Amino acid sequence: MEALVRIIDLHKNFGSLEVLKGISIEVTKGEKLTIIGPSGSGKTTLLRCVNYLEKPTSGHVYVDDKLIGEKKVNGRYVHLSDRELAKERAGIGFVFQRFNLFPHLTALDNVTVAPRRVLGMQVAEADEMAMEMLEKVGLAHKAGEYPERLSGGQQQRVAIARVLGMQPKLMLFDEATSALDPELIGEVLKVMRELAEEGRTMMIVTHEIQFAEEVSDRVIFMDEGRVIEEGPPKEIFSKPRHERTQTFLHQILER
């Protein structure tokens, strides 16, 4: 299978703190890769490096064989300009923990703003597309509502619709349900499950073990900035080989 994402010897430091310690991962087209691990293991930082919200200290990320966030000039790597980076990010959707909707825009406008500004989509076309995306996440009837009038689960579904509006080749989910009340988690996981069934390429950071077991093609366990173990979900969740993975899953499943 052809790799859509190639992460090569990725390191990330914040001052003297080394958060990622040489991560190398490939994600094939259509694959659902779930990343699990304790808080502080580097999961979120890894996702943020994939679309260059964080600049790696060293190492490189390729998406669809294109180097992300940098280019080679006279034999050395140079960071892209903000405008160049925005074009690259257009194909990589990021669903955050905290929704990050624009509070002064309706649900519809939150979905249309990036396609209009980045892709140059006309207003009527963008509105039609946005309604389709809101329908897809079950919120067409909330198109005219502002975020403050939506539940957390609805806000996150609008955030997913906003990502879909950019027609991304890769979708990154960073603990998409962690900020939600327990009764709202299911509605977001349902949308994510449907996207997985469509064959989208997804990298998912989550503590929802049952969900991960159901939708993942492969699971990676991270700890202290390294990949400790990876494999099919049944293997990782039923018969983890590494003692650290066993301890983590025992603690999670006991909650």
Residue 129 pLDDT level (bands cut at 50, 70, 90): very high
CA–chain centroid gap for 250, Å, is 25
**Torsional class of 42: left (φ above 0), alpha (ψ -120 to 50), beta (otherwise):** left
Residue 112 in contact with residue 165, Cβ under 8 Å? Answer: yes
Q: What are the pLDDT digits (tens) for 193-248?
A: 999 999 999 999 999 999 999 999 999 999 999 999 999 999 999 999 999 999 99
Residue % of the chain over a pLDDT of 70: 99
The pLDDT score that the predictor gives to residue 249 is: 93
Which residues, listed in sequence order, are joined to residue 106 by a DSSP beta bridge? none
Gyration radius of the chain over CA positions: 18
The answer, yes or no, to whether residue 255 has pLDDT greater than 70, is no
At 17-73, the pLDDT tens digits run 999 999 999 999 999 999 999 999 999 999 999 999 999 999 999 999 999 999 989
Q: If DSSP codes are grouped into helix, strand and coil, which group holds residue 233?
A: helix
First to last CA, the chain: 37
Per residue in 105-118, pLDDT (tens digit) is 999 999 999 999 88
Nearest to 68 by CA among 82, 48, 88: 88
Contact 106, 143 (CB under 8 A): yes
Q: For residues 64 and 30, give the distance between their C-alpha atoms in angstroms, rounded to a whole number.
A: 12
Torsion angle, alpha carbons of 58, 60, 61, 62, to 10? 170
Output the six-digit token pair for 156: 């996150």
The C-alpha angle with vertex 197 and arms to 161 and 86, in degrees rounded to 5, equals 40
Average pLDDT over residues 135-141: 96
The reply to whether the predicted model has a pTM over 0.85 is yes
**Interatomic CA distance for residues 203 and 44, integer angstroms:** 11
pLDDT at 152: 94
